[in-house]
Amino acid sequence: MTTTTLDHAATDQGSSLKTKRVLLLKPRGFCAGVVRAIDVVQIALETFGAPIYVRKEIVHNSYVVTDLAKKGAIFVNELDEVPEGARVIYSAHGVSPAVRERAKERGLKVVDATCPLVTKVHVEAIKFAKQGYSLVLVGHRDHEEVEGTQGEAPSVTQVVSTVEEVEALVVPDPNKVAYLTQTTLSLDEARYMIEALKKKFPNIVGPHAQDICYATENRQTAVKNVAHGADVVLVVGSRNSSNSNRLVEVSQNLGTNSYLIDKAEDIKLEWLDGVDTVAVTAGASAPEVLVKDVVEYLQTKGYGSVDEVEVMPENVRFGLPPEIVQAIASAPQVSR
């Protein structure tokens, strides 16, 4: 496999007539928050032994969850399913204060794997609420991240998902409104929503830096840069992965057919009819092994040329949460 640049990819377009090819987007796949969350579960299993309970899916990817379950992680929907006094890990998407309080009531040993970029939004919600603002949270109501953020100030927070919902908003003081966004929104979607909010509430305030995370932005930017040179874009990711779904939307909005797949077996042959160039990317919670399987499958279908197209470098790393660092330092190692 060769690594190429966008310019190289563009000048090579004529060769697609001779060789069907794959454009493998970079950056793709795991973000720093996902790596950290998965590491937390694996280290907890190695340090304390199974079972380790995890509230919700640690990240939104079925392959990852199944793999960790095989190693001894037990995934639950609510803390009431966790035995009193047991150890539980919060997912990368964060939890509300009500969940934290319930953990205390049940005497649970908590390890918090919330992504630091989600924690940033929680801190902003608390700050704005304390300053007396009505909060508008742009995001998808049924997503765990939104539920957690809204829970920081539920009495003053309204969630909006469409411009129509923005227009219907009613707040006590239109001059005292703040907005926040889910970290995994489409950049374009967020921009339209924020523009609508500013039109309705001219004095609205927002975070100093955007809430949409670096990995979400980078993966969308990569798709935007490459979609025009592909006939089809395949996004590796699970159905409940917000950022993966947004990658599909970004491609489709640019007029390039795009499909979300969990694994290579999900690819339908009719998607490849008359297709010379397939771009492949992966959502921030999808492991590289699944991308590799997709590329190998495409190679069996005649896509013999694979070019990795790096749109931008990505070198973000997050440290482990203090609970797990302290636990590693003090706990006896489980014999293997």
Q: Which of 56, 273, 27, 272 is nearest to 144 (CA)?
A: 56
What phi, psi does 333 have (nearest 5°)? -70, 140
CB 243 within 8 A of CB 216: yes
Instruction: Determine the pLDDT at residue 139.
Output: 98
Among candidate residues 57, 124, 144, 145, the one labeled active-site is: 145
Residue 336 binned pLDDT confidence (cut-offs 50, 70, 90): low
CA distance 324 to 110: 9
292 CB-near residues (< 8 Å, 6+ apart): none
pLDDT in tens, 195-226: 999 999 999 999 999 999 999 999 999 999 99
Asked whether residue 7 carries a pLDDT value surpassing 70, the answer given is: no
Q: Which segments of 283-332 are extended strands (E)?
A: 305-310
pLDDT in tens, 97-156: 999 999 999 999 999 999 999 999 999 999 999 999 999 999 999 999 999 999 999 999
pTM for this predicted structure: 0.92
CA distance 185 to 168: 21
Instruction: Determine the pLDDT at residue 8.
Output: 42
Q: Which segments of 17-118 are extended strands (E)?
A: 21-26, 52-55, 73-76, 87-90, 109-112
Enumerate the β-bridge partners of residue 160.
138
pLDDT in tens, 77-91: 999 999 999 999 999
Residue 19 binned pLDDT confidence (cut-offs 50, 70, 90): confident
If you average pLDDT over residues 168-195, what whole number do you get? 97
Known catalytic membership, residue 249: no
> By percentage, how much of the chain surpasses pLDDT 90?
91
Residue 333 binned pLDDT confidence (cut-offs 50, 70, 90): low
If you average pLDDT over residues 55-61, what whole number do you get? 98
Asked whether residue 17 carries a pLDDT value surpassing 50, the answer given is: no
CB 297 within 8 A of CB 269: no
If you average pLDDT over residues 152-167, what whole number do you get? 98
CB 106 within 8 A of CB 82: yes
What phi, psi does 141 have (nearest 5°)? -55, -35
CA distance 73 to 65: 9
CA distance 15 to 191: 37
pLDDT in tens, 283-319: 999 999 999 999 999 999 999 999 999 999 999 999 9
If you average pLDDT over residues 175-189, what whole number do you get? 97
Residue 334 binned pLDDT confidence (cut-offs 50, 70, 90): low
Residue 323 binned pLDDT confidence (cut-offs 50, 70, 90): confident
What is the DSSP code (8-state) at residue 269?
G
Asked whether residue 2 carries a pLDDT value surpassing 60, the answer given is: no
- Specify the length of the chain in residues: 336
